[in-house]
Amino acid sequence: MPDTVTADPIPLSETGRRPVFDNSYARLPERLFARLPPTPVSAPRLLRLNTGLAEMLGLDPDWLASEAGVAMLAGNLVPPGAEPIAQAYAGHQFGHFNPSLGDGRAILLGEVVTPAGLRHDIQLKGSGPTPFSRRGDGRAAVGPVLREYIIGEAMAAFGIPTTRALAAVATGDHVFREDALPGAVLTRVATSHLRVGTFQYFAARRDNDALRVLVETAIARHDPAAAQATNPTLALLEGVVARQADLVARWMLVGFIHGVMNTDNCAISGETIDYGPCAFLDAYHPETVFSSIDQQGRYAYGNQPGIAHWNLARLAECLLPLIDADEETSLSLAQEALAGFAPRFGTAWRDGLLRKLGLTTVQDGDEDLVQDLLVRMAANQADFTLTFRRLADAAEAEVGDAAVRELFADPAAYDGWAVGWRARLAREPAGRAAAMRAVNPAFIPRNHLVEEALSAAVQRDDLAPFEDLLAVLARPFDDQPGRERFALPPRPEERVTATFCGT
C-alpha cells in the first residue's frame, strides 16, 4: 500500500488548480483534535465527482478528476496547505452517554472559502483509523458511501440544509463487515462538523476554556450576529434551537427519517449530517422505523421533534457555565431558549403542511383538517409522497380525485376528508396546483430504488442505476415523462423494511 505523500506528482500547470485551504479549526488548541494524515489506499478510482458542488466551492473539477485530484480524494495525497485532523467529540447514543467518540473513520483535510466568502469543511470519510476509532478499521464500503451521496443530493434538491458529497472514490481494497465488501472514501462537504457532541466532549471534562473556544468558533461560522449580542453564548443557543426546529420540520414534510439522531449527529449548523440507516416513508405512519439498530423506535418518524429538543437540552447543559455566572440565572435563560423550540417547530410544520394542501393562509379549522388527513392516511396505508403530489391534480380538477382515492385501503376515507378540503380550497386564490407541485416532490429516494442502485454498484460494479437515480432526484419537483417508475411505491416484494448504518 502506498504512503501518503504531500507533494503533487503531476505539475500544477498540467492539471488546473488545487484547493486552497484556510484551516481555522486546525489553529485551535490541539486538545480539540488529533493531527494525522489519511491512510493511503491501494488503487483509487473515481466513482463520482459532484461537478456542480465543486464549482460552487470554487474548485476546479478537472483537477479533482485528475490523477492527483483523485489521489487527494482517496487520502493518498495531502496537498500543500491542508492540515488533516480528526475532531474530538462525545455523544449520547440512543440515550446513553459515551464521553469519547470522535472522528473514528473521518479526517478533515481542511477548509475552503468559496467565491461567495463562505467557509466549508472538506472531510474524507472512510479514510482509515484515527485515535478515536475504538478498534475499528476506519474504513467505509461502497454501498454506504453511495447511499450518503444519493440522500445528500436529494436533500439539497429539496432545499433542505445538508452536508453533501463532493466525490466518491473506490479504494481497490476490501473492508470486512459480515462479508468482504469493496471499499470507498466519501469526500464530505459541510459548513462545519461542529456537533452537540463536540460541546459534550469538553463539558464532560469540565474544560470551560475549550467550551469558550468552541462557542467563539461556532458563532464565527454560523451566527456572526450573535457576537454583538448582550449574551453571545445564549444567542448561539437560540440560533441552534431555531435551526434544528426548522430542519426537523423540513425533514418531516418530505417523509424523511434520520434513523440515528444521536447528539453526535446533531450539527450546530442546522445541516443534516450522517446518512446511515436513514430512509423515506412509503406508507405514512408516525411510528415508522427503518433503522435496524433502533429496536425501541426511539428515532421513529413521529418522535423526531421530541428527540431534537432532547438533544438541544444536552447542548444547553454544556453551555450553562458560559451563559451566566449565577447558576439559577443561567438555567432560567437556557430553559427559555429551549422553550422556543416547540412553537418554532409547530409553526414550520403546520405552515408546511398547509402549503402541501394548497392553503396559503391560516384559518380556523385548518389544523384539524391537516390532522384528520394524517390520521386517515395512517389508517389506510396511504403513500406519503404520492398522496400529497396527487392532491395537486385533485386541486386542479375533481377528476384527479380518482388517483388519490386508490392510494387509500378504503377509498371512502379519502372521500370523507376531501369534502372539507374542497370547501376550504374555495376560500383560496387560483393557481393552487402549481404552488402545491412546487412543495410536494414527485420523486424521493425510495428505499427500494436506493437499494437497487447500491446492489448494482456493489455486486456488479454497475453505476448506471446510481446515475439514473441521481438524475431523477436532481429535479424532484418536476414531472419527468418516461421516469414514472421512480415515483411509484414499491411492490410488496420490493419493500425495504430495515436499513443499516454501514459502519
Nearest to 74 by CA among 23, 128, 21: 128
Question: How far from 264 is each of 94, 268, 280, CA to CA, in Å?
Answer: 11, 10, 22
Cell numbers given for 288: 415508522
User: Which three three-digit cell numbers place residue 324?
Assistant: 451566566
Tell me which residue of 270, 273, 299, 275 sits closest to 286, measured CA to CA. Answer: 299
E strands, 231-343, are 256-257, 279-280
What is the rounded distance in angstroms from the CA atom of residue 148 to the CA atom of residue 153? 8
Task: Give me the catalytic one of 8, 103, 121, 264.
Answer: 264
Residue 445 has what DSSP assignment? -
Residue 425, classed as helix, strand or coil, is: helix
Beta strands in 3-105 (DSSP E): 33-35, 45-49, 85-87, 91-93, 96-98
84 closest CA partner among 135, 136, 130: 130
Cα 255 from chain centroid (whole Å): 13
Using only C-alpha atoms, what is the Rg of the chain?
Answer: 23
Question: Any idea which residue has 503533487 for its cell?
Answer: 8
- Catalytic (active site) residue 207: no
Q: Which residue has the cell 488545487?
A: 18
41, amino acid identity: V
- Dist. CA 359–CA 366, nearest whole Å: 9
Check: CB of residue 445 under 8 Å from CB of residue 389. Answer: no
Catalytic residues: 264
